[in-house]
Amino acid sequence: MGKTRFMVILGIIFSLFISSTYAQSCTKYDFASNQVFSACSDLPYLNSYLHWTYNPSSQNLQIAFRRTGMSSSRWVAWAINPSSQGMVGSQAIVAFQKSDGTMRAYTSPITTYRTGLQEGDLSFPVSDLSATFSNNEIIVFATLKLQNNSSSSTLNQVWQEGPLSNDSPRMHLTTGPNVQSMGTLNLLSGESKTTSSGAVNLKIKQIHGILNAVSWGILMPSGAIIARYIKVFPSADPAWFYLHVTCQLLAYILGVAGFGTGLHLGNQSPGVTYLAHRVIGIVLFSIATLQLSALLLRPKKDHKYRIYWTVYHRSFGYAILVLSIINIFKGLDILNPEKIWKIAYVGILVALAALAVILEVITWFVVVRRKKSAANAEKLPYTINDTNGGSRIQQSLV
């Protein structure tokens, strides 16, 4: 009897699992409005499904995007990216339930990673746009006129969901399924493929941010601190110089790597340009390359042009520090990581600034004391000590 009951229970569980899986297939879904679509796809992430009917001759695409397991405090979006794979550059259809219970569905072109999903016209006409929310499921309906699309029937698609605040979409998660929910869709064959480009691009962005934060934001200021404060101690010469060069050279190498990843990200998203961030990055790379050449072009200490070189080198050095910090914060705003990363970087800047203040006080104390000692030495007269009819000149040294 025990074995029989166990087998019955196991059979029930297995049948429920099969029926649940079977029910979740888009091919068995019946729309309440009795709409029928010629094809559908079970999207692999975020409990989402796409139904469509495509007319190749007119390039009309009628779609229904479904997202199950929803609450009224979240938004959904489905998009086509005509230029590349990924979020930026995509032409999105957004829907959510407002606080008064009505549904809002609208179009939104995505031009930045920090989008607020503002309403705007897409690169192709959209008609029959509507949305429903029932049984914890949002369905978005629309008809797209893909007149600007290429002759290929394969599209880059992106789908997403996120939280609402005061009837406005807020930033979705940047980990897990939320950065994997993209791929290609063949409208004729129905073949749907996911791509890891979103996760890869996010990883590249993180690497780009870390490289630049460490190089321009930490190593460069550290090298400047060494050059300004450590060299005042005679015993630190020439060790301070080699420390300074090593620190700045390592910063430059990492900075070039960060610059390269930035160019790669720019090429991956041709429709989006963070102009200020890009321009500052190019200026930083150019000035840093000039500074590096100073190792070969540096005049000797007694050269008559040494003073001009010193002014140029210090001016460009301070310019790099200021521009680096500005650009790192711009990068943080673009990437929008967790707040702990910005707090950590601010903490590092505060620590470096506090160290600079302490060393500034010590430096002034050392310099002033050295000048005072030199002045006292110049004021002391020569003394004559003649004990045997001769004379001896003696100078006091400090």
Binding residues for heme b: 208, 244, 277, 313
Helix H or strand E encompassing 184: strand 182-186
Contact 48/181 with Cβ under 8 angstroms? Answer: yes
Q: Which residues are annotated as a binding site?
A: 208, 244, 277, 313
Scored b (16 or more CB within 10 A) or e, 361-383 reads: eebeeeeeeeeeeeeeeeeeeee
Distance of CA 261 to the CA centre of its chain: 11
Bridge partners (DSSP) of residue 161 are: 76
User: What does 313-341 look like in DSSP terms, one character per residue?
Assistant: HHHHHHHHHHHHHHHHHHHHHHH---HHH
Q: Are 56 and 154 in contact (CB under 8 A)?
A: no
Nearest to 352 by CA among 232, 243, 216: 216
Does residue 17 sit in helix, strand or coil?
helix
Q: Of 246, 325, 250, 257, which Cα lies nearest the Cα of 285?
A: 257
User: CB under 8 Å to 198, separation ≥6 — which residues?
Assistant: 85, 86, 87, 179, 180, 181, 182
Cβ atoms of 64 and 141 within 8 Å: the answer is: yes
Residue reference for tokens 């700045």: 248
The Cα-based distances of 181 to 42, 95, 125, 162, 310 in angstroms read 12, 17, 24, 13, 54
Strand partners, 74: 163
